[in-house]
Amino acid sequence: MASLRLAVDAMSGDHGLRSSIPATVSALNLNSDLHILLVGDKPSITLALAGEKFDSSRLSVQHAPDVVAMDDQPSRTLRTRKSSSMYLALELLRDGQVSAVVSAGNTGALVAMSCVVLKRLPGIKRPAICAPVPALNGYTYLLDLGANIDCDAQQLHQFAQMGSALCRVLDGRAAPRLALLNIGSELTKGTAAVRDAAVRIAADAKLNYCGFVEGGDLFSADVDVVVCDGFAGNVALKVCEGTASFIASQLRARFKKTVYGMLVGFLARPIIAAFQRDINPDRYNGAALLGLKGVVIKAHGGSAALGFQSAIRQAASAVRYDLQVQIEKQLEI
């Protein structure tokens, strides 16, 4: 297997080095063909690596004096954060020194900087954000998650092409089952853009189109990829996360209400912990930015080391199985 070089933005995200360093070390120890270029404040990185065990011949550090803040205005960062770890990591990708970038930083800034540094593929207005959502079959890829607000049928068709390519590459599914998110399954439902997209996608012989699904069908085992505009996708993702944490908090409160509840709650701990591991988004953390000239994987801003490591694993898979080539083939570029 050819060697694999990834750039990891070591500084961004809520936890910065506290998640990027352990994730990098684990990834190196698990993958003997992986090389990582850590981008960030060199003295801090050196300090954080002290005492860690790994093959140092496969790790290098590229100094970056600045970092994009989570609350930076994305468009401003293009002028003000050119010496940030995020920007320099993208430049390494553009210059062919690495094959992919992983960052847990500010999503808007990552999208904006990727468009400027890497450029978009021909015909793509803005990269789409695609992430897996837990479902009965493991997970469902959902896109776009917020980069593209008003989408026409052509964009939705592109999302379908790129999302299918991603699922094929990362999960090895020959013909990912693809659906459009709508408010009913009848052909007459939804906006003109969604109805027109259905016609275009159904006519695309390279796609395995299954029709419309509703919000609740995201969790079924019947679809692998669900396509929607960035407004609906963002609402869906946030409602999903919000419902899960609402249920968790209500259930915890219920167990704490009585002594009996606290006792049973104590006994149930190992089961609840195993359940939480099952549906822990960190297990398959990592959103892909699709439609760029290069592979960019976004770890969740709040990623702990495990989530960050999943994002590194995704980036490695994307490179190994030629995500970029697959997407361009699907888009007929």
Residues forming the site for a second copy (CB under 8 A) = 134-136, 146, 149-150, 181, 183-184, 190-191, 214-219, 228, 230-232, 234-247, 249-251, 254-255, 257-258, 260-261, 264-265, 267-268, 270-272, 274-275, 278-279
**From CA 86, how far away is CA 39, in angstroms rounded?**
8
Pick 149 or 203: Cβ nearer a second copy: 149
Least Å distance, CB 117 to a second copy, is: 23
Pick 47 or 136: Cβ nearer a second copy: 136
Least Å distance, CB 278 to a second copy, is: 6
Pick 40 or 105: Cβ nearer a second copy: 105
Tokens representing 254 are 């219920």
Pick 165 or 226: Cβ nearer a second copy: 226
- In contact, 298 and 114? CB cutoff 8 Å: no
First to last CA, the chain: 27
**From CA 136, how far away is CA 177, in angstroms rounded?**
14
Pick 105 or 230: Cβ nearer a second copy: 230
Tokens representing 165 are 């390519």
Least Å distance, CB 150 to a second copy, is: 6
Handedness of CA 86, 5, 277, 51 (dihedral sign): negative
Side-chain half-sphere of 267: how many Cα atoms within 13 Å? 5
Least Å distance, CB 244 to a second copy, is: 6
User: Which of 81, 320, 201 lies closest to 211, judged by CA?
Assistant: 201
| Close Cβ partners of 235 (under 8 Å, ≥ 6 residues apart) | none
How many degrees, rounded to 5, is the angle at CA 284 between CA 87 and CA 9?
15
Least Å distance, CB 161 to a second copy, is: 22
Pick 51 or 216: Cβ nearer a second copy: 216
Pick 147 or 315: Cβ nearer a second copy: 147
**From CA 277, how far away is CA 275, in angstroms rounded?**
5
**From CA 281, how far away is CA 110, in angstroms rounded?**
21
Least Å distance, CB 157 to a second copy, is: 18
Residue 281 gets which letter from DSSP? G
Least Å distance, CB 174 to a second copy, is: 26
